[in-house]
Chains A and B, each alone.
Chain A
Amino acid sequence: MIETILPALYILAAIGFILAIKWMSSPETARRGVYAGEIGMLLAVVGTLLRFEVVNYQWIFIAFFIGSAVGVPLAYLMPMTAVPQRTALSHAFGALASALIGTAEYYRETPHGFVMVALILETLLGFLTFTASLMAFGKLQEVLPTRPITFKGQNIVNLGILGAAVVLGIILIISPESTYLFPIFMSLALIFGVLLIVPIGGADMPTVIALLNSYAGLSASAMGFALDNKLLIIAGALDGSSGFILAVIMCKAMNRSFSNVLFGAFGTLQTTVGGKGDARPVRSASPEDAAEILGAARSVIIIPGYGMAVAQAQHKLREMFDVLTKRGVNVRFAIHPVAGRMPGHMNVLLAEADVPYDKLIEMEEINPEFPICDVALIIGANDVVNPAAKNDKNSPIAGMPILNAYEAHTVMVIKRSMSPGFAGIDNELYYMDKTLMLFGDAKTFVTGIVKELGAGRH
C-alpha cells in the first residue's frame, strides 16, 4: 500500500523544497518558504519510515531523539555572530551523513558499475567536505589559527593526495571487491579535506563556506544516484547549485577565481607592502567631534565589516541609527558581498539588532549615492573600501569591486589602530584630507557617539 503512495509523497516533498527556495527570494515570503521545506521534509521522512524495507525502528527513533536534542539548542542558543561557525558545522554533519551512508552501502552491497561510480563520488565528496568543514569551523571559532598556513610545495602535496584518492576511487570502481582499498581511499579523502582548509584565511571564508555547501549538496545528490532516489537527486542538486552560485558571487566580489581562493593563500605574502606606510600623518578625532559631524549631516552611509561583528557593535550602531534618524538624518548601511565571514553575514547581524532591512543596501545600489552623501562611516571594514583596488594595478586586491566610500564628503573610520587589514595592504583612504580616523574599540566608540548625540539635544 505505502509503496503505491510513496512516489506521490516524494514528489510532494520535492515540490515543497522547490517552493521553499523560490519563496526565499524576498523577506516577505521567506518564512512561508521555511514551512514549505518543513512540510516537504516531514512527508519524505514519514513516507520512508512506512516503507516495508524499514522494520527496525528502535535505533532510528533513538537517533531522531539525539539529533533533535542536539539540533534545537544549536538553533536557539547560537548567538547570531556565530552563525558562520554553525553553518560550517552543519555542512560537516551533512557531509558526514552522506559519506557514512555511502560507506555502509559499499560494505553491504559491494555494488558494481554505475552505482559504484556514484558511491565513490558520494564518499569522496562526503569525507573531504566533512574534515574541511570541521577545519573551517575551527578557524571561524578561532580554535585554530585563522591566518593562512603555508609551506613549500603545499599545492603539490595537496593535489598529490587528491590525485591518489581519485586513482584509488577508480580502482575501486573497476574492482569493487578490493575492500582493503576502501579505508585507504577514505583516509586520503579525510586528509585532503584538512589540507584544503589549512592555507585558507579568514577573509576567504565566505567563498569556502559556499563551496563546501555545494560539495555537501553534490554528495547528497550522488547518494540519490547510488540509491536510485529522485528526491535525493533533486534536493542535492538544489543545494549544490545554491552553494555554487554563492561561491561564484563571492569570487566575483573579490575579483578572484576559485583556484586563486583555494590555492592562493591570500594574505600571507603582501606584508612588505604594508610595512612602508607607517610614518604617514593621519587626522584623528574624538567621539565628540564625530557626533557633531554626524548630527549635522543630512545623509550618512555606514559601512560595516567583520570588525563590527568582533566588537559586537551592531546593537550600539542601531541606537546611533535611531538617534540620527529621529533627527532627520538619512542613515543607510552599505553591505559589501564579502563583508563578514559568510555570505549575508552583516545583514543577519544588523537585522538581529533591529535595523529595518530596507536600510541595508547592496553595493551596486549604494555606490552611486556616495558622491552625494555627507558622511561615510566605516566600522570594522578595510579592504572592501580600499581605493587601491581601483587605482593600483599591482595591488593584491586590484580589480576587486569596492564600496566607493572615498567619494563621500567626509570619511570616518573606526579602527583599533593603523595596522593594515586582512590582506595586509595599506589603505590610501586613511591618509586622505577628508578622512577622520576614530581610534578605539568599535563598540566603545559608537557608545561615545550615541551619548554625545543624546547630550547635544538638550
Chain B
Amino acid sequence: MKSLEFGIWVFMLAAFLGFELIKRVSPLLHTPLMSLTNAISAIAVVGAILITGAEHASTLSRVLGFIAVVASTTNVVSGYLITDRMLRMFKKREPVKK
C-alpha cells in the first residue's frame, strides 16, 4: 500500500507540473507539442519490453507484448522525428525590405 500512496503523490505532482509547463507553451507550437508528448508517453515501451522479454512468458503475452513494442517504438521514432521536422520549419526571418 505504501507504494500506491507514493504513486498517487507522484501522479499529482507530475500532473500539476504538466499543467504549469503546458500553459506556457505558445499556441504557435501546439501541434509539435502534441506530437512530442505523444512520443514521451510512448515510454510505455518500458512495460512492453518487460512483458516481451520475460523468461517464462506465455505465447499470449509474448505476442501481445511484441505488438506493444512495435506500436510504441513506432511512436517513439516517428514522434521525435516529426516533432523535430516541424520545429525546424519554424524560422524567424526578417523579410527582405526594399
- How many Å lie between the Cα of A347 and that of B84 in the bound state? 15
Q: Tell me if A374 counts as interface (CB < 8 A to partner B).
A: no
Given contacts A104-B61, A362-B27, 15 further A-B contacts (CB under 8 A): A48-B46, A54-B54, A56-B57, A75-B78, A80-B89, A83-B86, A86-B82, A96-B67, A108-B57, A220-B44, A228-B7, A322-B95, A343-B31, A344-B34, A351-B91
Q: Assess the B29–A72 pair: CB atoms within 8 A.
A: no
Among A55, A210, A232, A347, point to the contact of B47 (Cβ < 8 A): A232
Residue-wise interface mask of A (61-93) relative to B, using a CB-CB cutoff of 8 A (1 in contact, 0 not): 011101110111011101010010011001101
| Residues on the A chain within 8 Å of B73, using CB | 63-64, 66-68, 71
Q: Tell me if A433 counts as interface (CB < 8 A to partner B).
A: no
In chain A, what residue has the closest Cβ to B41? A239
- How many Å lie between the Cα of A262 and that of B44 in the bound state? 27
List 4 A-B pairs, minimum CB-CB distance, nearest first. Answer: A67-B73, A71-B77, A344-B30, A241-B18
| Residues on the A chain within 8 Å of B32, using CB | 24, 30, 344, 348
Q: Assess the B45–A24 pair: CB atoms within 8 A.
A: no
B39-61 contacts to A, CB under 8 A, are: 39-55, 57-58, 60-61
Q: Tell me if A225 counts as interface (CB < 8 A to partner B).
A: yes
| Residues on the B chain within 8 Å of A431, using CB | none
Interface-central residue, A33, A104, A242, by most chain B CB under 10 Å: A104
Q: Which A residues have a C-beta under 8 Å from some C-beta of B?
A: 13, 17-18, 20-22, 24-27, 30-31, 33-34, 37-38, 40-41, 44-45, 48-49, 51, 53-57, 59-60, 62-64, 66-68, 70-72, 74-76, 78, 80, 83, 86-87, 90-91, 93-94, 96-98, 100-101, 103-105, 107-108, 114, 209-210, 213, 216-217, 220-221, 223-225, 227-243, 245-246, 249, 321-322, 325-328, 335, 337, 342-345, 347-348, 351-352, 354, 356-358, 360, 362
18 contacts between A and B (CB under 8 A): A22-B21, A25-B24, A55-B53, A56-B52, A63-B70, A67-B72, A71-B79, A76-B82, A83-B86, A96-B67, A98-B44, A105-B51, A108-B51, A210-B34, A227-B47, A232-B44, A344-B28, A344-B31
Known: A233-B14, A328-B98. A220 touches B43 (CB 8 A): yes
Q: Assess the A325–B97 pair: CB atoms within 8 A.
A: yes
Q: Assess the A66–B70 pair: CB atoms within 8 A.
A: yes
Among A34, A57, A101, point to the contact of B87 (Cβ < 8 A): A34
Q: Assess the A347–B38 pair: CB atoms within 8 A.
A: no
Among A70, A235, A354, point to the contact of B40 (Cβ < 8 A): A235
Among B21, B41, B48, B77, point to the contact of A235 (Cβ < 8 A): B41
Known: A44-B46, A68-B73, A354-B91. A94 touches B18 (CB 8 A): no
- Main SS class of interface, A: helix
- Main SS class of interface, B: helix
Q: Assess the B74–A24 pair: CB atoms within 8 A.
A: no
Among A93, A228, A345, A351, point to the contact of B3 (Cβ < 8 A): A228
Among A60, A104, A225, point to the contact of B64 (Cβ < 8 A): A104
| Residues on the A chain within 8 Å of B64, using CB | 100-101, 103-104
A88 to chain B, nearest CB (A): 10
Interface-central residue, B17, B46, B76, B94, by most chain A CB under 10 Å: B46
Q: Assess the A101–B47 pair: CB atoms within 8 A.
A: yes
Q: Assess the A224–B48 pair: CB atoms within 8 A.
A: no
Q: Assess the B76–A71 pair: CB atoms within 8 A.
A: yes
Q: Assess the B53–A60 pair: CB atoms within 8 A.
A: yes
- How many Å lie between the Cα of A241 and that of B12 in the bound state? 11
Q: Assess the A67–B87 pair: CB atoms within 8 A.
A: no
B26 to chain A, nearest CB (A): 6
